[in-house]
A and B are shown apart, each in its own frame.
Chain A
């Protein structure tokens, strides 16, 4: 194609959504630490309130710093727009409540982050939204679980903590055949490793707390709309296709076209549920995104070294990483995650629960905590922490064994990390 080309990924991580500040010339994104914005006059105020002019009203709904982050992630994912939220959980909640209400049903992968499992399994049923959990490696199971009131299919690009690679194109086809969207939690992969919209997903969210922010300093979420789902093509989503009394009978699909979902999420969900991101947090996450390609590549390089090291270690029973030939999703991984399968993986130590506990306590560089995606290497025992509310059957179904340890590989020197693992493994076998 002759003429200009789209800015490439690495350029977008630094520039998308931002122009030098017109008031000061500031090159970095300013932190607009303000709750509210002065209107030019009463007509200007009314026009912004009524969606006739662009602008900010109140930082629960939008904020200039957050807007840069939102635009940047939308650009990196290839969407039409995004909303920054207080956490990844808030982003997931916002996606669901924008689409459906009581009496609705979700089909979800059963290999989920524990917090997502809690929301779907225990909390949303209290509000009339039920979920059927299925094996993410069995696309037919998603189709079989569909009900007349199913409004969403949900899964993670890489299941937590078993690292099941989701066959996004296959699951997207099932969702679209049923006239419903596919929502993806893309936290573990970030757009550097996988762009779910290119594989057919309709909506996605990130816990930006993890690899996007990348430094373990800020909690945040990002909900992104691909703009591809044909909301008017079905009567299943009245929140988007029927007049909304909460905004002067606005019909989102008519007024916003491709951006109907994200517009409703902001005009209703951000306004009413109020789980907004602080502008300082948005600034922190933007700093992380600016180095995303460099960091993720280093995360992947380190992870590959550690995976190979552990895979050959006599104290290790199993290493679960999709790039290993023995992983059930190895071929799918090569197709959907050619740049790498992330920097979080699990392994099972010989000796079970006791050996796992000794291993963690023997580490000196890895930090024992409940997070992933930090620049620093992290370790946790899922069965006793992130997934402790799941019973034995649910743990088994999610592929979690009592002796399983999850690592989030950071950016340290890989030799130091390998020595630390050796230290822990030695302790585990005593």
Chain B
């Protein structure tokens, strides 16, 4: 689906379904330098199981035009602009990596618009290493390599993609290579500069799910502990033998965690 926000053409994947007013809505927010296709399996499942799905491309990403937003707070406000533009009063919000920060911030800044949030591959702070930031700033391919290598778990670096015939490393690299110059840097810088996450976490009143991976080198489980403790009654799922890019590495396990959480009644 194409729509216009702030005079820019924006793309939102809806699972090839029309949004129906009588269905609950899930917003999926991708990570740095990526786009809606990372949610392919999870979003497609939800779209065919009774939800409205909005797997968005943030401005400047994927099929969305416009400059990339430069801070997490602006991204959170932009998500609500997206809901406004479609007259959607409330939605569950699911985010991965940078998208998890946007999700958290959306829940804190716009609590009346968010029914529940799921934070996948998350930690606070979401610090970006200096070599990665520097490479991204100069659009150096090493930035894509670092994310690809650090993003996958040990075994996944040699493959074993659950989707037959697909090479995870290649797919991650191609997605990152498609990002427009400067977009990955803007995203990583936004992650690095986001310092108010713990305060935001304390303001969250809706149910929260955290999905983490034991082999995650980018948002390690240990670094997420303070975030977990800042959230009232968090639901946590930790995936074994999985790295940061869990949507591709363990799509079923991620979907099962989301499905269980999103289908549950009010906390």
Contacts and interface: CB of A to CB of B under 8 A. Distances in A.
Interface of A: 1-7, 11-12, 15-19, 47, 50-56, 62-64, 66-67, 70-72, 74-75, 78-84, 226-228, 232, 243, 248-251, 254-259, 262, 266
Nearest to B142: A1
Contacts of B166: 71, 74, 80-81, 259, 262
B175 A243 contact: no
A232 B128 CA distance: 32
A255 B157 CA distance: 24
A5 B158 CA distance: 11
Interface string B27-52: 00000000101001100110011000
Contacts of B255: 52-53
B37 A257 contact: yes
List the 7 closest pairs (A to B, CB-CB), nearest first.
A70-B165, A62-B164, A257-B37, A52-B45, A258-B174, A74-B167, A54-B162
Contacts of B62: 257
A248 B159 contact: no
Contacts of B252: 53-54
B37 A81 contact: no
User: Of residues B45, B157, B165, which shows the largest number of chain A Cβ atoms within 10 Å of its Cβ?
Assistant: B165
B178 interface: yes
B131 interface: yes
A19 B157 contact: no
Given A71-B159, A74-B165, A50 B44 contact: yes
B150 interface: yes
B165 A16 contact: no
A250 B16 contact: yes
Nearest to B177: A228
27 contacts: A3-B150, A16-B167, A17-B159, A18-B159, A18-B160, A19-B158, A47-B45, A47-B48, A53-B255, A54-B161, A54-B252, A71-B166, A74-B166, A78-B170, A79-B170, A80-B167, A80-B170, A81-B167, A81-B170, A228-B177, A232-B63, A249-B16, A251-B16, A255-B13, A257-B35, A257-B37, A266-B164
B44 A51 contact: yes
B95 interface: no
A182 B210 CA distance: 44
Given A53-B251, A54-B162, A254 B167 contact: no
A68 B174 CA distance: 20
Contact of B131 (A1, A79, A84, A227): A1
B164 to A, nearest CB: 4
User: Of residues A47, A51, A52, which shows the largest number of chain B Cβ atoms within 10 Å of its Cβ?
Assistant: A52
Given A53-B255, A54-B251, A255-B13, A6 B164 contact: no
Given A4-B149, A17-B160, A80-B166, A228 B41 contact: no
B149 A256 contact: no
B150 A7 contact: no
> Mostly helix, strand, loop or mixed at chain B's interface?
helix
B164 A70 contact: yes
Contacts of B142: 1
Contacts of A248: 16
A255 B16 CA distance: 9
B167 A17 contact: yes
A79 B252 CA distance: 24
B76 to A, nearest CB: 25
Nearest to B13: A254
A262 B165 CA distance: 9
Contact of A53 (B45, B149, B161, B177): B45
B174 A228 contact: yes
B165 A62 contact: yes
Contact of B159 (A63, A75, A262, A266): A75
A7 B13 CA distance: 34
Interface string B12-34: 01001000000000000000000
B160 A54 contact: no
B155 interface: yes
Nearest to A81: B166
A15 B162 CA distance: 16
B171 A52 contact: no
B169 interface: yes
Given A232-B63, A251-B16, 18 more contacts: A3-B146, A6-B145, A7-B158, A17-B161, A18-B159, A51-B44, A54-B163, A55-B162, A66-B165, A70-B165, A71-B165, A72-B159, A74-B167, A78-B170, A80-B171, A249-B16, A258-B174, A262-B166
